[in-house]
Chains A and B, each alone.
Chain A
Amino acid sequence: MASASSRIVNSTSSSINATNNKAQQTEEVPLLAGEDVKSKEKDVIYVCHFNGPKKGVVYITSYRLYFKSVELDSAMTLDIPLGVISRVEKIGGQSSRGENSYGLEITCKDMRNLRFALKQEGRSRKSMFENLTKHAFPMSSGLQFFAFENKETYKEDGWKIYDPIEEFKRQSLPDEKRKWRITNINQNYELCDTYPPVLVVPGSASDDDLRKIAAFRSKGRLPVLSWIHPDNQAVIVRCSQPLVGMSGKRSKDDEKYLDIIRESNGQTQKLTIFDARPSVNAVANKATGGGYEGDDAYQKAEVIFLDIHNIHVMRESLRKLKDIVYPSVEESHWLSSLESTHWLEHIKFVLAGAIRVADKVSSGKSSALIHCSDGWDRTAQLTSLALLMLDSFYRTAKGFEVLIEKEWISFGHKFATRIGHGDKNHADADRSPIFLQFIDCVWQMTKQFPTAFQFNELFLITILDHLYSCRFGTFLYTCEQQRSKEELRKKTVSLWSCINSEIDKYINPFYTKDQHRVLYPVASMRHLDLWVNYYIRWNPWFRQQQDPVQQRYKELLVVREQLLKKLEELQISDSPTGMLPHVSNSSTSSSPVPVSPRSQTTL
């Protein structure tokens, strides 16, 4: 019934290739600077879940898996960065009889699976399997990430996007009253090896104090400032859990430090500590030396548990979600199946938690301290979302890049471990879609506030695609210490270089500037939607809903740009009543497009 918006690249790619017919074979594969072809397998059948088997050629390069069909009537290509691959399995054995039952099954990190059928005779499967395994999992095969071979050049330098000193200056830090100071105490990562070198701490806390406090916090992740409210000076402070343990250990220094934070904006009320975990989990953590700030020790603090579950629960939830959307969408009980994945419910808890933080700081004018266990997963979700609600700067494209660099990358969200970059251990229990969940929350906010964000959906999807691709250095490794050791900024390209060089593609046409208000999204389940354009995007039968609007809108913006240019020209030529050149009316001349089919995203 539904008309298909096939995502298969057909006409354009085949026509380009047709003109280059006599060129060398390798030129049939689009290559990035620094990318080279590692192997080529002929007579491979791509067993498409949607459009049936397609015969073609597979190239494996240092960056991608590229399939090109040889069937004339259904030309198509498939272009997948190797970094997206989570698992490669052999299917079928020598005795397999069924059609296309012998080959490889590839599980991807971005909600899809791919199946290739190969000939039983010969060594083609072995060779493809080995090449894929070798290049898709460089960490396991002693190779380096493609990001280090990538020689792409861009007009923008994304590594310059985030400078912590600049960012704190934007927040007017250090403040006039010296309540807060910027310290380089961690420049050799000696205070805390997973924190960035530059930290903002209370002005009255000495370096010695900081060392003692770090010793009382899990992994040395002491409370440091994330954000300060420009008017009421309330702050958002992040850290890890205190090392209370079964015996209820205390640290006078930590207690005093939290009190300084509480008082920093003249607030005499209690300091609110948002513990992201369910209270049961927080208590259970005492057994392993952790815990939370107890009433006795911290009399001027109040702990609120936000009931956000841990990485294992989230991973399981996403796995269930994939089960109902890929390859085919569970049709008969769609809504209750969706509910049973609990994915939206987890989104709700994360969003609701961030709303409480933002509300406390903005309306309650009181400071908030946020932690979970180690302070690099749920804490990052909460601080970054709260910052997004409070500060309109982060709602611009560049501001959002700063936010990710700051709250996620510099504060040691373990991207390498959570995503499993280049690692063949697909069942690793440390993998978890924490960052995806954050981006999903952001998407929910963009849906609820269509004019408040400068970036569009494609921006978010592109970030997620390169979270896995390993083409850029941005998300590699787990903390700044490691990144500086690997000389990431010198040796790799930043994702923001790529995005910012083509920023027009990622701009939300609905965006209206100067919205300094605080955004409070509705976290009720009624107002949360499944992000179908992301989770169900591989299904060609699914219609992209926002596309035509954005398309139409962009056309109009182009027309406006043209007009403004003409206007300037006219003013330069100084012809007060001069003839206006006719600007083509693209809003009426463009052919009506009921669905604008989007071609396969080439990464």
Chain B
Amino acid sequence: MEFSELIETSKVDHVLLSRPFLQPVKGTLCVTSHHLLLSSRAGDKEELWLLIRNIDGIEKRSAGSSGIITIKCKDLCVMSLEIPGMEECLNIAKSIEALSSLESTSHMYPFFYRPKQLNLLEGWDLFTPEEQFTKLSVHTDNWRLSYVNKEFAVCTTYPDAVIVHKCIDDAAIKMVAGFRQGGRFPVFSYYHKKTKMIIMRSSQPLTGANGKRCKEDEHFLAAVIQPDKKGYIIDTRSIQAAHQAKVKGGGFESKTNYHNWKRLHRPIARGRVLQESLIKLVDACNDQSNSIDRWLSKLETSKWLTHLKTVLTTACMAAQCVDREGASVLIHGSEGRDTTLQLTSLAQIILDPDCRTISGFQALIEREWLQAGHPFQLRCASSAYSHAKLKQEAPVFLIFLDCCWQMSCQFPCSFQFNEQFLITLFEHAYASCFGTFLCNNEKERFTLNVKEQTISIWARMNSPSERKHYVNPLYERNNFTIWPSVAPQSLQLWQGLFLRWIRTPEHQNEAWEQIKHIVELGSRKANPSSTELSVLKEDYAAN
């Protein structure tokens, strides 16, 4: 396929671009295979360099002889292009629509993006199951690294190497996989050093209407915990939903067959409900009518903060089971690729200070989201503006990021990364020039050679010039568990993300600059050089 076939008009002059916070500029608009460019030819700089993949939806209307295209981006920005001539306008719109709805992954921009500074191989092997296992084996020898899923033979959405309990051999794993939806047998997720307890995750058992059993599954779960202990299964569905799932072949672990596990049902919103919540929220945020607009009611009706509260509360519960009750936990919903991952990853942030560092958080995203098979491409196919029929879109990952942001507000010194770090991840999950968030699981990435032919986002984010933008200057390692408050007045709208195109963050940024400045001065104290002393003195005099 040639991109040029999709581009009806590649260049228009005298296009007026209007964007939030910036003066409108007039220039030449170019449509390329992956970008929308606009240059005023004043100097060499491009006024606009927009990844077409980032476009969530467009609206077109005529204004006199010219046409106006409103571009709504996945990163929530809204801009407009005034194009002289209605025909040109329609052509451009058609080209954008065709290019932005391309579904073939291998035609996406990450496969073409080749910046000079970054190496194709960098960043891809930073976080491997092998490495995770090595770290784990320092503390316990109850677990082993299994390659039963080599070539994704047992479970298409798991990586080729997984950590499983040593009591179960590969043959038994295959049996268990047959009894779990999508073959997602229970795998190791987190080991809590303090209590020696673990968190595992899986998908639902396929008990079906007839109450089918799998003795390997039962045996395995029984063996994971000591005979005198109890474990908790946190099912992210309501008990009714779990019962209904039986009709379709799914189900849950019954008390009689799994007698040392206690099942807790904590329904967490997913799928369409979540996507609609995002749409309502963004709609409310962008509604600029100045009258009495009942903003708070709208915010409440969007239910976004309620969803955050539920997810955080349940993650806290999972963490409490492990930390306070001294019990192991198995988490699953239906497929175990969405709400399950929210819980396992948030519980680790609460419990494990390593996950609150920049590299630890990246590792967490690799382990609990990318390798764990969260279907990024399906879930992030469109964001809040798309007019296309909803398919499997849901802001599951964004909810997770928002929960992290809420915790970082409540514990401002405990996270090594800042708000910008989380916003960047949000942007790249939805549209990116990097390959990291492409595809839905490791198998797809392997098939498309993603790791050989695209660049990892970690390569960029960890480069020294880039990394400094993501560091929280107030960070001070906090080895305690952090229990977030989930009271309604403690959870806030993430203004830095949802309102960032409505009010510039410049004043907030100023404050952060000021903090950085003082922290830097503070860190020079140990052994200042003579020039630094003079800088200090000037600084002192200036104050």
Contact = CB atoms under 8 A, between A and B. Distances in A.
Contacts, number: 160
Contacts of B296: 335-336, 338-339, 344, 525
A536 B489 contact: yes
Nearest to B477: A592
Contacts of A593: 478
Interface string B506-522: 01101100110011011
B514 A560 contact: no
B526 interface: yes
Contacts of B378: none
A530 interface: yes
Q: Interface size class for chain B?
A: 35 or more
B262 to A, nearest CB: 19
B474 to A, nearest CB: 5
A512 interface: yes
B490 A2 contact: yes
Given A2-B486, A331-B488, A583-B526, A588 B410 contact: no
A334 B489 contact: yes
A564 B533 CA distance: 9
Contacts of A522: 503
A382 B306 CA distance: 37
Given A329-B488, A335-B299, A450-B508, A553 B518 contact: yes
Interface string B320-335: 1000000000000000
B313 A1 contact: yes
The A interface is mostly helix, strand or loop, or mixed, namely loop
B518 A557 contact: yes
A4 to B, nearest CB: 10
Contact of A345 (B292, B316, B317): B292
Interface stretch (B148-156, B168-176, B411-419): B411-419
A526 B316 contact: no
A556 B519 contact: yes
Contacts of A530: 489
B409 A545 contact: yes
Contact of A548 (B297, B317, B412, B536): B412
Given A1-B486, A527-B499, A509 B518 contact: yes
Interface string A508-539: 01101100000000101111011010001000
B476 A588 contact: yes
Contact of B295 (A525, A556, A580, A590): A525
Interface string A534-566: 001000011101001100110011011011100
A448 interface: yes
Contact of A559 (B297, B480, B525): B525
A442 to B, nearest CB: 15
B502 interface: yes
B540 interface: yes
Contact of A450 (B478, B510, B536, B543): B510
A232 interface: no
Contacts of B386: none
A153 interface: no
B24 interface: no
A451 interface: yes
A301 B159 CA distance: 75
B528 interface: yes
B522 A510 contact: no
A449 B536 contact: no
Contacts of B503: 522, 527
A94 interface: no
Given A336-B296, A594-B478, A527 B495 contact: yes
17 contacts: A1-B484, A2-B487, A2-B490, A335-B299, A339-B297, A512-B514, A526-B285, A526-B495, A529-B492, A542-B487, A543-B490, A552-B474, A563-B524, A563-B525, A582-B526, A592-B413, A594-B414
Interface of B: 285, 290, 292-297, 299-300, 305, 313, 316-317, 320, 409-414, 474, 476-480, 482-490, 492-493, 495, 499, 502-503, 507-508, 510-511, 514-515, 518-519, 521-528, 530, 533, 536-537, 540, 543
Given A1-B483, A335-B300, 15 more contacts: A1-B320, A334-B489, A335-B296, A450-B508, A451-B507, A509-B518, A510-B515, A524-B502, A525-B296, A527-B499, A542-B489, A552-B413, A556-B522, A563-B521, A590-B476
